[in-house]
Structure 1
């Protein structure tokens, strides 16, 4: 009889960003990484304490999660008892789910454990220590305080645990973002948004404190796991080896992409002995979260996605040669969500918005190609109060009612490939560059730059007048042609359109425009926190 256990952390992002301080987020990243990975990780310590040696197999162990298999039920029980105790002592307040199952085959035991995990997911566990009504509480989390910090005052147990890992010199998590040929250590990454000039402060651009919270998640892993499952169905004995191989592929591909983005984007942007202009937050399997200086974010995403796809081709080719898995995909791709915000704004809300944007990007990519979706990106620039619900943002801030139809000032998702039938990120960048030129912002073209922030009562007249003025000036005619070319490529808007909006494939009564997205990128490039390009909801009579 095979006995299996599946352990997963829940709501990781909420745990990481709960206190709001970058130093605490950095410590939480190291803490979670040290649960299952890195030298001296907690999982290895528990395994040695229980003396499981080679009696328990771990096909997967990454990002604070693991699969465990053994024929010894009592040994697994002892291991899990000590693991859950030690894990909660090292990372107080982190939510988790645990599933246990058994079966005659590895696959049967795995399925039983997975079903038990689903039943355990969402189970409310007590938050320790329990607080009396008169107990002091952390100002940042609202949880019962167990310590006092000079800067933060009362501090809860979870934050105390994170602070213990803030300045670990070994910092194994950060090594995954460092190219082998470059000597980058833990001191090269910033831990402070609030101060300037200090040893580990974030290197902002002059007075511009715009950062980008980037969250990326892989496409196609679900279908890949199904193919691995089919191979295990044919030969149950290779369960452990196949899942270990799959886990290594995902980890190696993501790590290589992270290092390439550091090599090509972060290192060239570094000035003198300043810290690198980014802070890695999470790298667990194909799940990546990183904070990057605002002006570098799009380049970072492009390099990361390209390197991820290229590395996945090589790793999947190698996996294809070593195993009998049928119909492995040629590559893996990414869905990426980016939130541009000020460094002082709440990251615990921004991460939920970034995850929603990632989901939007992945959903759109799969709608275009279910079997082999391209890497895609969705972003939002916060210019006012931060809201973590993307659907609400689109409805309240980016949608206008004109003659009974909805006009939305974003295309939502852009693709990083050269595919001709989808909105390409390169075309959006070209449009932003065209509209953002210094001499383009003067004269009649200013009407277009401010169009998105006006009431739509006279929008058709003003847009038509802008086009006529551009066409009448010989020195602007070429730019108008470039503008029309990009608008056709992005949203199928031609020069005869009365408004710069094109039809939405998903709904006939909705039209979309890339101009809001272009203006957002212009604002990021100029380092403005608010501009006249901020979209205001308006209606046309």
Structure 2
């Protein structure tokens, strides 16, 4: 006979929903709405930011008393009650799903309510219950007809901006067009109102609120993040993105933890032996909160290390910060270094945050539960470098694809290392990043760009113009080091270094490879005669990738059975986006 009732909820396609339409102000609103779906329990909020789950529980009154949570962060909820209190979860489900559709119209989600015999059974059945719920797709409302006016940015059915459905208190301060001249669908209108409320809440709180507040290190607490890309289109009171000169390159960074799913499965399996369901659920909640706290602190560390405010405006805009996920828009010259700093800090912060969780695990479930909780986590990141005028919703798809590419390579490296050492369970994957500078049509998946733009020749003659992904921390023999790439970029960026011939060499590789090889050889001869010190630095930087000194071309032997790949184009990408050389920085904080 079932002893527990379980309710599981997950928001899906979060990044795609946030970036829909491609306009920064709408992304800011979508980010705020998603961030406010479910905050961690005990997350004190001195401001008036949205906390949808807490609002629902408050409205339930005493009916919410029996509910215990195993997770409530990152757009996901797992709630448990004893079987006799199942009606409490039924009411929670009815109110939460309604509230999500009202506050965040069009946001996809799945949920399931099911019975279980104990905590282990409850956790084991969760994935299957949610998978079955995927067939129940919520239709966006209102539905479009042949006579419906559509939003040109999203294709959704336009709604009257003054509808009571959206509570008029936000419209007066939102800068929302209430004349009907701009056709907005329900989701976009909700985002615009959310931006206005965030601005209002920030004024009342005297500083940043919600997601923005969690991103700011204490020393930069008075700073703000931008809400608009273009000053000409910005409403009064909006904060405009501080670009560097005429360069409008931005980097969309998406980072995701490695093997968190495997960790949760191992923890849930060990918890099956714990008889106290409340204690087990409390442990899972503590684990989730610890990872979320570590993610936020790692983001703060990266902000402090790589971003400097222009006035009081930081050159970045956070979009997602929850669980082990981070998505942030960063000015192009800072984006790749921000991602690298975040990956290093994530490993450090998770090590600190998980230490007390491991102690609690040993007290609750013995050595088996403690062993299921890793000492630290690593992460992978994908960065899309694109002009701010490009569709940022498409850049979001590409950044997720880059992240999967980087994490996949890290997982294979960890498995290969474990096989070589004849170890049982693979160790932690190294922290890796992959980036792509968009210079042609924006691809939806990195595989398309890798094969179509960055691979020359086919079969045994194939060569690649990128060494993606790069290892930021940890060991992986068959992967290139990000520190080595940064050193190569610093050499090329040295004032007076003759970059023109190298750039022409890269441009000619596809059309005239034989002539390109001759030109590269000639460039080396001239450098050796006139600038031997620079050539030595250049060769030393290439040697870190396995390129022999004096090689006819800057291609090392292929790694792990792959084609030969040069880091030269990646290094030029870092130089061209204006990344500050570490040589010129001399150890100071980035400008």
Establish whether TM, by shorter chain, passes 0.5: yes
- Residue 356 of structure 2 is aligned with which of 284, 308, 318? 318
Q: What are structure 1's unaligned runs of at least 5 residues?
A: 528-541
What's the counterpart of residue 191 of structure 2? 162
Q: 2:525 aligns to what SS in structure 1? A: helix
Shift of 1:397: 1.0
Pick the aligned partner of 1:16 from 18, 29, 38: 18
- Pairwise CA distance, 1:256: 0.6
Q: Which runs of 5+ in 2 are unaligned?
A: 40-44, 162-175, 203-208, 363-368, 416-426, 581-591
Q: CA deviation at 1:289?
A: 0.3
Once the two structures are superposed, what CA deviation does each residue of 1:49-99 show, in whole Å capped at 9, x if it has no partner?
A: 223332111111112210011122222112211211121111110101112
The answer on whether the counterparts of 1:102 and 1:108 sit within 8 Å (CA) in structure 2 is no
Describe how 1:412-431 pairs up with structure 2 within 5 A: 412-417=468-473, 419=475, 421=477, 422-431=479-488
3-state DSSP class of the match of 1:525? coil
Kindly state the Cα deviation for residue 418 of structure 1 after the two structures are TM-superposed.
6.8
1:228–1:242: 8 Å Cα contact kept in structure 2? Answer: no
Of the candidates 81, 88, 102, which is equivalent to residue 94 of structure 2?
A: 81
Alpha carbons 1:101, 1:111 under 8 Å: kept: no
Q: Which of 520, 530, 535 does residue 480 from structure 1 map onto?
A: 535
C-alpha separation between the residues in 2 aligned to 1:463 and 1:182?
47
1:177 is displaced (CA, Å) by 0.5
Whichever structure has more strand as a proportion of its residues is 1
String of CA shifts for 1:19-76, please: whole Å, max 9, x gaps. 2111111011111112212655111221222233321111111122100111222221
- The residue correspondences of 1:350-429 to structure 2 (distance < 5 A) are 350-370=395-415, 371-401=427-457, 404-417=460-473, 419=475, 421=477, 422-429=479-486
Distance 1:107 1:471 in 2: 68
Q: Out of 237, 247, 251, which is 1:212 matched to?
A: 251
Whole-Å separation in 2 of the counterparts to 1:122 and 1:313: 39
SS at match of 1:145: coil
Whether 2:559 is the aligned partner of 1:505: answer yes
3-state SS of 1:135 partner: coil
Task: Indicate if the aligned counterparts of 2:33 and 2:50 stay in contact, CA closer than 8 A.
Answer: no
On the 8 A contact 1:427/1:486 being kept in 2, the answer is yes
Q: Quick check: 1:9–1:64 contact (8 Å CA) kept in 2?
A: yes
Which of 262, 265, 271 is the matching residue for 1:232? 271
Q: Is the 8 A contact 1:137 1:154 kept in 2?
A: yes
Displacement of 1:346 after TM fit?
0.5
**Residue 205 of structure 2: aligned partner:** none
User: What is the distance in 1 between the residues matched to 2:38 and 2:348?
Assistant: 27
Scaled by the length of structure 2, the TM-score of the pair is 0.83
Instruction: Select which of 279, 293, 296 maps to 2:317.
Output: 279
Conservation of the 8 A alpha-carbon contact between 1:227 and 1:326: no
Q: CA deviation at 1:207?
A: 1.1
Q: Does the residue aligned with 1:512 lie in a helix, a strand or coil?
A: coil
Residues 178-222 of structure 1 deviation map (CA, whole Å, 9 limit, x = unaligned)? 22354336xx21111021697511111111111111000011323
Q: Does the Cα contact within 8 Å between 1:101 and 1:110 map onto a contact in 2?
A: no
Please say which of residues 156-165 and 448-457 is displaced more in the overlay: 448-457
d(CA) in 1 for partners of 2:181 and 2:445?
29
| 1:466 and 2:511 aligned | no
Equivalent residue, structure 2, for 1:438: 495
SS at match of 2:462: strand
1:175 paired residue number: 213
- Kindly indicate whether the alpha-carbon contact (under 8 Å) linking 1:102 and 1:113 is maintained by their aligned counterparts in 2: no
TM value normalised by structure 1: 0.90
Are 2:67 and 1:56 aligned? yes
Deviations 1:423-451 (A, max 9, x none): 1111111111212223112xxx6322221
1:100 to 103, 113, 118: 113
1:254–1:285 CA contact under 8 A, matched in 2 = yes
- State the Cα deviation string for residues 379-429 of structure 1 (Å, max 9, x = none): 001122222221111111111117951111001111112748341111111
Worse-superposed segment, 225-234 or 129-138: 225-234
- Alignment RMSD, CA only? 2.2
Task: Report deviation, 1:262.
Answer: 2.3
Q: Does 2:126 align with 1:113?
A: yes
248-257 vs 196-205, which moves further: 196-205
Matched, 1:516 2:569: yes
SS of 1:312 mapped into structure 2: helix
> Aligned pair in 2 of structure 1 residues 439, 402: CA closer, same or farther (>3 Å)?
farther
SS, match of residue 442 in structure 2: coil
The offset of 1:161, in angstroms, is: 0.9
Cα deviation for residue 361 of structure 1 reads 1.1
What is the alpha-carbon distance in structure 2 between the residues aligned to residue 159 and residue 329 of structure 1? Answer: 41
Secondary structure at the counterpart of residue 323 of structure 1: helix
Q: Distance in 1 between matches of 2:469 and 2:333?
A: 19
Query: Could you say what secondary structure the match of 1:482 adopts?
Result: helix
From 282, 295, 299, the counterpart of 1:241: 282
Match of 1:65 in 2: 76
Q: Secondary structure at the match of 1:201?
A: coil
